[in-house]
Chains A and B, each alone.
Chain A
Amino acid sequence: MSYGGAAPLHQSSQSDIDEIENLINDSVRFGPATILPARPPSSPRASIPVSSSPFVPSALHPLPSSNKKPLPHFAVPSFSAGPSPQGIATDGLGPPTNTLTEPIWDTVKRDLTRIATNLRLVVFPNPNREDPGKALRDWDLWGPFFFIVFLGLVLSWSASVKKSEVFAVAFAVLAAGAIILTLNVLLLGGHIIFFQSLSLLGYCLFPLDIGALICLLGSNVIIKMMVVLVTFSWSSWAAYPFMSTAVSSRRKALALYPVFLMYISIGCLIIAVD
């Protein structure tokens, strides 16, 4: 901090409040700023508002609202991350809700929309696919969780014997596989974010989910193999750009091969289960 704790020697026209605010703003800018105390709403009930101002000292008089700086986002952090354009409609902008149902429904809806958006981004063709930074900016793990559990359930249902083992194996292989694949990329010197990669690998399971569902309904081995082949290549196509851009080009194969291996083994599991 350039001031070092002492205020500039202005005339007394600059009030205490402004000086302290400058100090705070400086420290917020230069400091680690890992925590952002939020300004409370005008109601006495304590709830975290969606305000965008930096830390405001509550011991002093309330600052005029012109001091609000647009900080990125105080969205409801669900399991997922990232900003949300609406914010929490109930906090900070009006009277706090007294029931739990309202905010929960809003948050649930927002989460579901996020899952749908992520799915569309990853699995279906769209212009942003080549850019891994944009691909799963708002990563979330709910989608992958549902897809893994769904795949395990379908496989377990198709199995006539050893249902529990099939489920446990499928879940463990997918969960551990995603973690290990991410570590693999990190150890190869790639630049990915751990949870983003987990999220991506989970979302790329969606085609295999569809394949498993279709195989559950049909029984011919040849048809099963065709379906699995199609869905496996769809999954790999979805996972390819993200993984390949994360590592240097010489190590692309090293990063991609385990991914394909994992999806192939799940495909074989789908075919073999009957």
Chain B
Amino acid sequence: MDRLQPPVENYANPKTCFFHVLFKAAALAFYILSAIFIDSFVIIFVVTVLLAALDFWVVKNVSGRILVGLRWWNEINEQGESVWKFECLDQESLARMNKKDSWLFWWTLYLTAVAWIFLGIFSLLRFQADYLLVIGVCLSLSIANIVGFTKCRKDAKKQIQQFASQTIASHFSSTIQSAFSVV
């Protein structure tokens, strides 16, 4: 990198980033290290799944909002149907989002899922069905967040494009109108 460039921006929300990574890393670390220290499967299961669930909650409610400005949830409307809602910040705020923050967000999200898959293959090879249970739960929580936020981001991009083309079209037509009215 060119040394004369302005300094790279730092993390804008270091605390959020920290918590975002903390529970993921804790769940993975506990799972991997527990085989050495802890005898009881029940404790391994409960602690790992609890950490994974906390991580899910933190990512969905806190770091998704703050680091990338996305949010998703499910509602049941008056007719009794379930509706998935995806929300994003408007374009200006999205552009102002810290690049490092969102890089960290997405990469840790994907890497955790890959790590769980890897551990799952490991325990599959060892024929440990009960550990597969742990991994199944943690993996489904990770994948739920990945799917939710990816859909959010895609919808956000589509909406912004749609809006941009509408704006251009209506600006264009109103400019022409005003041009004709002046003449």
The interface of chain A, by Cβ under 8 A from chain B, is 5-7, 9, 11-12, 16, 19-20, 23-24, 27, 34-40, 44, 46-48, 55-59, 72-79, 81-83, 99-100, 103-104, 107, 133, 137-139, 142, 145, 149, 152-153, 156, 163-165, 167-168, 171-172, 191, 193-196
Contact = CB atoms under 8 A, between A and B. Distances in A.
Contacts of A20: 166-167, 170-171
A27 B162 contact: yes
Interface size class of B (residues with CB under 8 A): 35 or more
A79 B59 CA distance: 10
- 9 shortest interchain CB distances as A-B pairs: A77-B73, A164-B41, A58-B92, A35-B155, A81-B74, A46-B93, A168-B130, A5-B169, A40-B93
B61 A74 contact: no
A193 B178 contact: no
Nearest to B87: A36
A76 B58 CA distance: 12
A56 B160 CA distance: 11
Chain B interface main SS type: helix
A243 B130 CA distance: 31
Contact of A37 (B19, B73, B89, B181): B89
Contacts of A6: 169-170, 173
Contact of B177 (A9, A37, A171, A172): A9
Contacts, number: 168
B89 to A, nearest CB: 6
A46 B89 contact: yes
A194 B45 CA distance: 25
B159 interface: yes
Interface string B86-100: 111111111011000
Interface string B29-45: 00000000000111001
A246 B96 CA distance: 47
Contacts of A77: 60-61, 71-74, 85
Given A16-B171, A78-B60, A168-B133, 18 more contacts: A5-B170, A16-B170, A20-B171, A27-B166, A34-B84, A34-B155, A35-B86, A37-B89, A38-B90, A72-B75, A74-B87, A82-B75, A100-B15, A100-B62, A139-B76, A149-B49, A163-B42, A168-B41
A36 to B, nearest CB: 5
Contacts of A149: 46, 49
A82 B151 CA distance: 19
Interface of B: 15-16, 19, 40-42, 45-46, 49, 53, 56-57, 60-62, 65-66, 69, 71-76, 80-82, 84-94, 96-97, 129-130, 133, 152, 155-156, 158-160, 162-163, 166-167, 169-171, 173-174, 177-178, 181
B110 to A, nearest CB: 21
Contacts of B41: 163-164, 167-168
